[in-house]
Amino acid sequence: MTACGEAGPRTDQPAANGASEAELPALETDGPEVIADANGTGIEVSQLLFDESDAVVIASESEEDQRRGATLAVELGAPLLTRVAGAEALVDKEVERLGAKDIHEVPSDDQKVTETEPVVDKQDSLAAAVAELEPGEEATLQLPPFFATNETSLAAVATARAAGAEIQVLDVADPRLTSESMQTVAEQDTLALGEQFGSSEEFADRVELASNGELPGGGGLVFPGRRMVALYGHPSGGALGMLGEQSPEDSVARLQGFIDEYQPLEDQPVLPAFEIIATVASEFPGDDGDFSNEATIEELLPLVDAITEAGGYAFLDLQPGRANFLDQAKRYEELLKRPNVGLALDPEWNIGPNEMPMQRVGSAEAHEINEVADWLAQLTRDNNLPQKGLILHQFQLQMLRDREQINTDHPELAFILHADGHGVEKDKFATWDVMRKDLSPDYFMAWKNFEDEDLPMFTPQETYEKVDPRPWFVSYQ
């Protein structure tokens, strides 16, 4: 990309020379791109946005110095560079390239430095605070929108803001996070600051997926951006959970009672959800001999329709017996093509060819999970669907012995680890802690409250205040 392309959309903003912004040279872009700034010096952003600069601010690695340096750099309309250990020579070389004569080191007794107030956190986000500073110089380039996160270096954010860039600071490095970020990437090329966004190719892929529509509550990611509270069960009745104890419509109403208690405790939307047992492990082999009774799509539709029409989300839960997860998932492809229907896999009921359910707690190998994830991700992409949730149930380590081999590298899917422990509080937390140990950060944690087995069952307030980290998905059985 270069700084000499044709002008973009016309605006009435005055430029420093009295011309309209539309007459400024535009930063040429060729699709979405990541400016990695891997060493945190801010040099890459400086090189991109400044052919030269009379002034430059250089801060130490101290957060206080970078905060002060960020304020001053934006005020001067100049790059902020950070003297990162091992990269000092690179910083000096960039200062030379810029041709800067007015060099402000932080810390120093330089009057401009000592008189500058460090930028103050905004809702625990220094990046957001820097992004809101007003540049002291008029822009000399038309710039596309930028994205950053709290992992982005202050040097990168401050340098982009000093050049006049508008920066959206996201909680996670994915442009599908909010309705606003999705609209932004739909309208023009965008730049992302920080290697947490991945390669430019990976960022461009997520930008493309952002065109697949939003989920209830806004944005195109299952999590974060919302939490969910669900009823779990089977359409046949209440023996397998709360969901079947009443009609689909009454289940929605019952669930709304929980939502009304959870929502005041949470800033994000709390959405209603159903986790519907689509296939039930059985002590009898059945006509197909797989020891699993598969509900028809017609049997599941009333529950799926009821929750999705209420603005919620449905998960189809599989208990395969001697069958396999992938074959059972494909039975429900028609439902999984809906934008707010996901999948749940329950290894407890996944047994060997010579076993029967309830003889032992079952298990699944990573390759069994991976083949379902591969298929579901491709289904999501092929049908231009927003991200889908994929729940994995686990309450014993042996249920997913090689969990670390599960491939979570699917931007089309949100992986959810559902810790299903029950009993007294101490036992539930013991299960929770063991399931979380060595868990990839790619997973979102889910918690289950058992109406009959928990002694006593947590209230919504206890669930959100005692369970750490706060679960993204809470189900009731």
The whole model's pTM is what?
Answer: 0.91
Of the candidates 1, 64, 3, 60, the residue with the CA atom closest to the CA atom of residue 35: 1
Tell me the C-alpha distance between 73 and 425, whole Å: 52
Terminal CA-CA length for the chain: 55
Q: What is the pLDDT of residue 21?
A: 57
- Are 318 and 202 within one domain? no
Tell me the C-alpha distance between 207 and 190, whole Å: 9
Q: Is residue 37 part of a domain?
A: yes
- Are 206 and 291 within one domain? no
- Are 116 and 184 within one domain? yes
- Are 278 and 199 within one domain? no
Q: Is residue 353 part of a domain?
A: yes
Q: Is residue 151 part of a domain?
A: yes
Q: Is residue 5 part of a domain?
A: no
Q: What is the pLDDT of residue 22?
A: 62
- Are 185 and 130 within one domain? yes
Q: What is the pLDDT of residue 9?
A: 27
Q: Is residue 399 part of a domain?
A: yes
Q: What is the pLDDT of residue 11?
A: 33
- Are 337 and 395 within one domain? yes
As given in the structure block, the two tokens for residue 248 are 């689909």
State the 10-residue block means of pLDDT for the chain, 477 residues long: 31 42 84 97 98 97 97 98 97 98 97 96 90 93 96 98 97 97 96 98 98 96 97 92 96 98 97 98 89 96 98 98 96 98 97 85 97 98 98 97 98 97 93 97 97 93 97 97
- Are 242 and 106 within one domain? no
> Which residues touch 113 (CB under 8 Å, ≥6 apart)?
68, 72, 104, 105, 106, 107
- Are 192 and 239 within one domain? no
Q: Is residue 217 part of a domain?
A: no
The domain in which residue 419 lies consists of 227-476
Q: Is residue 7 part of a domain?
A: no
Q: Is residue 14 part of a domain?
A: no
Please name the residue that has the structure tokens 């990573």. 366
Q: What is the pLDDT of residue 14?
A: 41
- Are 54 and 150 within one domain? yes
- Are 134 and 248 within one domain? no
- Are 51 and 108 within one domain? yes
Of the candidates 439, 447, 435, the residue with the CA atom closest to the CA atom of residue 406: 439
- Indicate the number of domains in the chain: 2
Q: What is the pLDDT of residue 122?
A: 78
- Are 206 and 242 within one domain? no
User: 353: domain CATH number?
Assistant: 3.20.20
Q: Where among 183, 212, 241 does a domain terminate?
A: 212
Q: Where among 212, 244, 262 does a domain terminate?
A: 212
